[in-house]
C-alpha cells in the first residue's frame, strides 16, 4: 500500500499563487510536484535522488528561481595534486568512471516507464520515429531529466563523468578530444599552475625513457592554425589571413609575433624537460605551412607576399630557438613540397636557405609518397625524392616520409 504524505506551501510565480505538493513515496521515486492551479492547471515534476535535502517548509511562500531542494555532493578530489593527477590518468587511460554518467544516444523525448526491481526504466523516443531506446538506470542516482523533456544527442540522463567510449560512439572523435582537453585543463587550472609547465614532469619521464635505450629524444612542436577543430579549441581558429572556408580569423601583427615567441618558449620548455632537441612542424597545411602558402597567406605586411616575407616567421623561430637553447640542442624543420599552396621550387629554395644559414641540424621532408613524381608538370623529369636529395645538405641530416615500408631501400 502506498505510504505518502503531502506538504502544502504557498508560492508566488509570475503573479500567480501555486500549490507545491511534496510527494514522498515508497513505491515511486520521490518528487516535487508544482501545481499551477490558479492559471493553466499544468504541473511540473522534479524527481529527487536519494539523499536530497528539502529546502522548503510548510506554509512558506517561494518565488520562481528559489531553491526547493539541495543535492549533497562529494567534495571534489581534483583540487590538489593528490586528486588531480589520478583524474588525468583516468582520462588518458580511458578508464570507466565508478559512478559514470549516462548520455542520450539520439535526439528525442523522455518517458519514464515501469521500474524493474532496483532499476529505473527510462525510454528515449527518437525524433525520427524509430523504436525507443531503453535505459535501465540504478535507483538512487541523480536523473537530470524529467518526464516529457526533449534531449539532444550527448545530453546527460544521469549526472556524473561520462564514459569516454560513449562520447566517442555518440558524438565522435572531435567531441571526445574537446571533452578530454577541457577536463584535463580544469584539473591544472584548479591547482593554479600553468598547463604548459605542468607537463614538464611527465615529459621528463618520457625523454629519459627514450634516452635509456640509447636514442635521442626529439619532440615535435605543432600549431594547426586554421585546421584546428573549433569544437576542440572552443574558439575561432586562427590563420595568417581570414579564410571563409575554414571560418578563421587573421592573426594581427602582434599575434604573429606572439606565435613566434610561443614556439621559442616551447623549445625552451622542451629543453628544460630533458629533450635533446625539437622539430618545428611546418608541413601538412598547419599554421607555419599556411604562412608559406601562396594560396592561404594573403597578408600585406612583412609576413606576406614574397617568399622572403612568407618564410620570415619560420626563420625567426629557428633563429630564436638557436639563440635561447644553444648549439648543442638539436633543431629540425618539417616541410611539405606540395599541396596546401606549396610550390616545389619554393620549398627547394627555402630548404637550401635553411641549410646554408646553419641553424638547423636536420631537414624532414614529408613527401606523401617518396616514389611519386611531382604534380607540377614542369618538374616531372624526376621523382620528388630525387628533387629533394639534389640539394647541398652540408652537415645537415635529411629525413623523409611517404610510403617507406622497408629499411633496406637505401643501402
pLDDT tens per residue, range 132-163: 999 988 877 778 888 888 999 989 888 888 89
The residues facing 102 across adjacent strands are 158
**Average pLDDT for 64-91:** 64
Contact of 108 with 150, CB cutoff 8 Å: yes
Q: What is the mean pLDDT of the chain?
A: 82
Domain ranges of the chain: 8-70, 81-187, 199-401
The residues facing 63 across adjacent strands are 12
CATH assignment, 81-187: 2.40.50.100
**CB burial string 233-256: b at 16+ within 10 A, e below:** eeeebbbbbebeebebebbeeeeb
* Longest pairwise C-alpha distance within the chain: 92
What pLDDT score does 78 carry?
45
**Average pLDDT for 219-233:** 87
pLDDT per position as a tens digit, 282-325: 999 999 999 999 999 999 999 999 999 999 999 999 999 999 99
Q: What is the DSSP letter of 143?
A: B
Q: What is the DSSP letter of 153?
A: T
Q: Is the pLDDT of residue 199 over 80?
A: no
Nearest of 55, 28, 57 to residue 143 by alpha carbon: 28
Task: Give 164-217 as a DSSP string.
Answer: HHHHHHHH-HHHHHHHHHHHHHHHHHHTT--HHHHTHHHHHHHHHHHHTTT---
Distance CA 121, CA 111 (A): 9
Enumerate long-range contacts of 42-51, CB under 8 Å, 24 or more apart: 44/146, 45/146, 45/147, 46/146, 47/143, 47/146, 49/140, 49/141, 49/142, 49/143, 50/139, 50/140
* Assigned C-alpha cell, 296: 592561404
Q: Which of 19-23, 251-255, 381-385 has the lowest mean pLDDT?
A: 19-23
What pLDDT score does 218 carry?
97
Distance CA 315, CA 312 (A): 5
Class of domain 199-401: alpha beta
Amino acid at each position: 500500500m502506498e505510504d505518502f504524505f503531502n506538504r502544502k506551501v504557498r508560492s508566488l510565480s509570475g503573479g500567480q499563487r501555486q500549490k507545491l505538493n511534496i510527494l514522498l513515496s515508497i513505491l515511486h521515486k520521490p518528487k516535487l510536484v508544482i501545481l499551477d492551479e490558479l492559471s493553466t492547471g499544468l504541473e511540473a515534476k522534479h524527481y529527487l535522488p536519494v539523499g536530497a535535502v528539502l529546502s522548503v517548509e510548510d506554509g512558506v511562500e517561494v518565488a520562481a528561481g528559489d531553491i526547493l531542494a539541495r543535492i549533497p555532493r562529494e567534495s571534489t578530489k581534483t583540487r590538489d595534486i593528490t586528486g588531480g593527477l589520478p583524474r588525468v590518468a583516468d582520462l588518458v587511460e580511458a578508464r570507466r568512471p565508478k559512478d559514470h554518467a549516462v548520455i542520450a544516444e539520439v535526439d528525442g523525448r523522455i518517458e519514464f516507464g515501469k521500474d524493474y526491481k532496483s532499476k529505473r526504466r527510462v525510454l528515449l523516443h527518437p525524433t525520427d520515429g524509430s523504436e525507443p531506446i531503453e535505459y535501465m538506470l540504478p535507483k538512487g542516482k541523480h536523473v537530470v531529466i524529467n518526464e516529457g523533456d526533449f534531449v539532444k544527442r550527448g545530453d546527460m540522463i544521469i549526472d556524473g563523468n561520462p564514459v569516454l567510449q560513449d562520447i566517442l560512439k555518440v558524438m565522435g572523435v572531435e567531441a571526445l578530444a574537446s571533452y578530454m582537453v577541457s577536463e584535463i585543463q580544469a584539473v591544472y587550472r584548479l591547482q593554479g599552475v600553468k598547463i604548459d609547465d605542468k607537463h614538464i614532469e611527465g615529459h621528463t619521464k618520457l625523454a629519459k625513457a627514450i634516452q635509456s635505450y640509447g636514442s635521442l629524444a626529439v619532440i615535435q612542436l605543432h600549431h594547426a592554425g586554421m585546421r584546428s577543430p573549433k569544437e576542440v579549441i572552443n574558439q575561432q581558429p586562427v590563420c595568417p589571413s581570414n579564410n571563409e572556408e575554414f571560418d578563421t580569423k587573421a592573426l594581427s601583427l602582434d599575434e604573429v609575433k606572439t606565435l613566434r615567441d610561443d614556439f621559442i618558449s616551447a623549445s625552451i620548455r622542451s629543453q628544460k624537460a630533458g629533450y635533446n632537441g625539437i622539430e618545428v612542424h611546418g608541413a601538412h597545411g598547419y599554421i607555419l605551412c599556411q604562412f608559406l602558402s601562396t594560396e592561404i597567406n594573403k597578408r600585406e605586411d612583412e609576413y606576406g607576399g614574397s617568399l622572403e616575407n612568407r618564410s620570415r616567421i619560420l626563420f625567426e623561430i629557428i633563429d630564436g630557438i638557436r639563440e635561447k637553447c644553444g648549439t648543442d640542442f638539436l633543431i629540425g624543420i618539417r616541410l611539405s613540397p606540395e599541396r596546401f599552396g606549396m610550390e616545389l621550387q619554393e620549398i627547394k629554395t627555402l630548404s637550401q636557405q635553411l641549410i646554408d644559414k646553419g641553424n638547423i641540424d636536420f631537414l624532414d621532408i614529408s613527401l606523401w609518397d617518396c616514389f611519386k613524381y611531382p604534380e607540377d608538370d614542369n618538374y616531372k623529369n624526376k621523382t620528388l625524392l630525387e628533387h629533394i636529395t639534389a640539394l647541398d645538405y652540408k652537415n645537415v641530416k635529411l629525413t623523409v616520409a611517404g610510403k617507406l615500408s622497408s629499411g633496406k631501400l637505401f643501402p
